[in-house]
A and B are shown apart, each in its own frame.
Chain A
Amino acid sequence: EDQVTQSPEALRLQEGESSSLNCSYTVSGLRGLFWYRQDPGKGPEFLFTLYSAGEEKEKERLKATLTKKESFLHITAPKPEDSATYLCAVQARGATNKLIFGTGTLLAVQP
């Protein structure tokens, strides 16, 4: 069964304190792995898509990496505005139009 597990469930950081979020996945052939950001009371907002092991994507203070079993979202020198829930999702080969989402990591960055 295709599955996505995110850890930790919640993370509290001081401003400037770098850290990483983890997304472990089990899927019958990965077509793509997606990272989204979700603010309270809003819908998820797309951040990155990764397609193959070894691939990396960056956007401001965020960098996403991918291996054959997991993905990391690295947050460098976070700011309070980076506080949000970060969601990971995978698409399996042949699973047209269907993403499997993890339950997310709630990140709080304190000034």
Chain B
Amino acid sequence: DAGITQSPRHKVTETGTPVTLRCHQTENHRYMYWYRQDPGHGLRLIHYSYGVKDTDKGEVSDGYSVSRSKTEDFLLTLESATSSQTSVYFCAISPGTMTTNEKLFFGSGTQLSVL
């Protein structure tokens, strides 16, 4: 998976608890993304980063925050998890910008269940 590690791979948590998902890359790519994948919705962008400490919102960012303190790590935090955040979360990276039509490389995903 192009040097992308997501952790944990699976997590079960309770409503109202904070959850942090980690994405680690060894490719030194500038851009990192968090997507969620749900049946009937396809992949939807949550947040993305275009450099250390530089992040921006995607189409479904409510209830999520991100941080990027190092080039290789991009963290996704659910401040207070809700059942609607049960999903498969994918991290993706790209070396350039999407304006240059760079393809995305995806991690293997994190299955999150909020009970």
Contacts and interface: CB of A to CB of B under 8 A. Distances in A.
Residue among A32, A49, A97, A99 with the highest chain B CB neighbour number at 10 A: A97
A104 B104 CA distance: 17
Given A41-B109, A43-B107, A96 B43 contact: no
Contact of B99 (A45, A96, A99): A96
B42 A103 contact: yes
Interface residues of B, number: 28
Contacts of A31: 99, 101
A8 interface: no
B74 interface: no
B42 A87 contact: yes
Contact of B42 (A41, A42, A45, A101): A101
B109 A97 contact: no
Interface string A45-61: 11001010000000000
Contacts, number: 62
Interface string A22-45: 000000000110100000011111
B97 A96 contact: yes
B40 A103 contact: yes
A43 B42 contact: no
B97 A49 contact: no
Contacts of B43: 44, 87, 89, 99, 101
A89 to B, nearest CB: 8
Interface residues of A, number: 24
Interface stretch (B12-20, B44-52, B79-87): B44-52
Interface in B1-15: 1, 4
B63 interface: no
B36 to A, nearest CB: 11
B101 A49 contact: yes
Interface of B: 1, 4, 31, 33, 40-45, 48, 50, 56, 58-59, 90, 92, 97-99, 101, 103-109
6 contacts: A43-B90, A43-B109, A44-B106, A51-B101, A97-B99, A101-B44
